Chains A and B, each alone.
Chain A
Amino acid sequence: MPEKSFEVFPRSPKKTYGLMELVKGTNPSVEKEPEDTIFTWPNLFYIEFIMALAITALLLFLSLYVQAPLEEEASTDTTPNPMKAPWYFLGLQELLVFFDPWIAGVTLPVLIMIGLMLIPFLDVNPKGKGYYTFSERKFAVTNYSFGMGLWLVLIVIGVWLRGLDWNWYWFWENGHVHKPVVAGLRDLPVMLSKGLGVSDSAGKAISDLMLFAYFVIGLVIPAVLFKDFFKRLGLLRYVTTMVMFLIMVGIPIKIALRLVFSIKYAIITPWFKI
């Protein structure tokens, strides 16, 4: 029988072709009766179309009857205090309290975007396609939910818990009364050098070592404890996943260091401070 060649993907005489992999499993339609299956069109599309109309109608009525929270016309001689971004940017604005502007405004958002883009390449778990599951994707779901939760909490803090001069106001506190300025934020290297009675450079070296140890321990311990996880991912995927994970966990740690222990910077370098 003569071999057929297709225009879209013609066989190249310079290449060799072979069977690459046999995968154990069944076709999604195996053991399903024809009665179990329905066509996307019109069954699904109708529902989606009706939902789209309903949501549009809901938004239309909301916009007609609920007033937008517009403030007074902007004036050149009064700056609002506090100056708040739209709610969806307040998480980012809240990060500015804890990190230098270019870290909070550029590095972290870029890392979040790169991390999200890397998910399809890092996630080797084939489970959970086309159905809901948590038990088969515990790490993935928990990890993502934590990042999402952290982002939402930052937004909640920015929207409801920041008042005059971007100070922390609890729900029950009067947001129109200025709070006294509390000085006394210190850098971790200085605290270490004073607390341990060593030189400034030694304190700085210890704080640098602590950051280094955080990443080393964070990389080594999960690899030892969860050997299957490490083997399944392979070295490159594992290191990328864990570095991203450790940076994410590092954000609430840095927030806690400042809010609870009054530490301004944990790491000081000539180029950046964290």
Chain B
Amino acid sequence: MATKVVMEALSPTMEEGRLVKWLKNEGDAVKAGDVLAEVETDKAVMELVARGDGVIRKRIASEGEASPVGTLLAVIATPDENIDSIVSSAGGNGAKASPNAAVAQTTETPPASPVPQTPQQSQGEASAPPQQKTAAAPAAPPAAAPAAPPAPPAAPQGDGRRPRSSPLARRLASEKGIELSQVQGSGPGGRIIKKDIETAQARPAAAQAQPAAAQAQKKEAPKRFITRDGDYQDIPLSQIRKTIARRLAESIGPVPTFYLTAEFDAEKASSLRNELKEFGDDYKISFNDIVIKAVANALSEHPEANAHWNSDHIRYFNRVHIGVAVAIEDGLITPVVFDADRKTISQISAEVKQLAGLARNRRLTPEQYTGSTFSVSNLGMFGIDQFTAIINPPEAGILAIGGVEAKPVVIDGEIQVRQRMRVTMSCDHRVIDGATGAKFLQTVKQFFENPLLLMV
């Protein structure tokens, strides 16, 4: 029996994927489980495997092409099997499966609602869910008779707003043909209420309301910038850029963030690095590795900072998994050093190197970039001495690391030149309070400044 090779949902949020490279040619024999192609998802490059045995009879998708989940990419069959009908059905296939895939992605991107009239969206009796009794239509207030004039546009008052009036007063005024602007309101803030309409009706020649000296401020039309050719270029969003934009906007929006900045003395860390270097390349570590270890150990001492904000609860973690932001060609990704508090600095160093390599080659698997409990971002290598990082939700904090540089500092009343490094912690205030964050950062500082504590 022929097996269809289709675009599969290779990450939990994937809706379409780009076929990066075919690894099998037409005519190649394959077995279930064999890797057929590389596919770029919204997160990484993943492997697409065969789901049946046979020969690749037809490759339909070409390299570089993006297809929705469910699209037919190739056909596996026995050498003599007729696959014409499958190949010719290629058009309809993807379209049929992709809506299902979208629905499977739960809440992040609600599909265009197929629901006819949800209660919260509509008005009046049509809106009521079946189990609610609602006022029968005839009980609703009678609409203004067709002959009656339409509700008069209220004359502007001094502030340009129409006069305040209760809905009932407006309806009565309309029914009785009374101009609201001619009525003096007696309610709070001059609101015209039912009683005022009744009074006005009794005295039709009531004095006109004094129009206030209209001082509508002229607003100058804003100057428009003229665009010229070459001022900008439009770059289509890559899958990863879309994901970053959505995630980070989610962060800066609802996350009440505050920042704590501290300067760490890096003298000892610096000499530790130099000492280790003496033992050979295997022992080479970076400042960042020491930071990761310091953060990890501090988190195990301060579980209150090792937490996720899960909207209806805070999840404090007993294990420490550090996300390490890695810049890649078209964005960034945060692979995870799991249980970093239980690893040595050398282990962390090796692992970060490996993960960064995988990240740059887009070879990280979802398990390798999800599950962090706290993150670290370092831009020191770009000559940045201090910056603030955006929290990677649902985490509660991230530490932004600047570069290490020699600086004059006052120690014991004397100016000395020391290696210093500035760090800024972004805290989700829903989880971490000022003092909590400060205490944690203090512990990080203590560890970093005395890295021997991290070695024991």
Whether both chains belong to one complex is answered with no
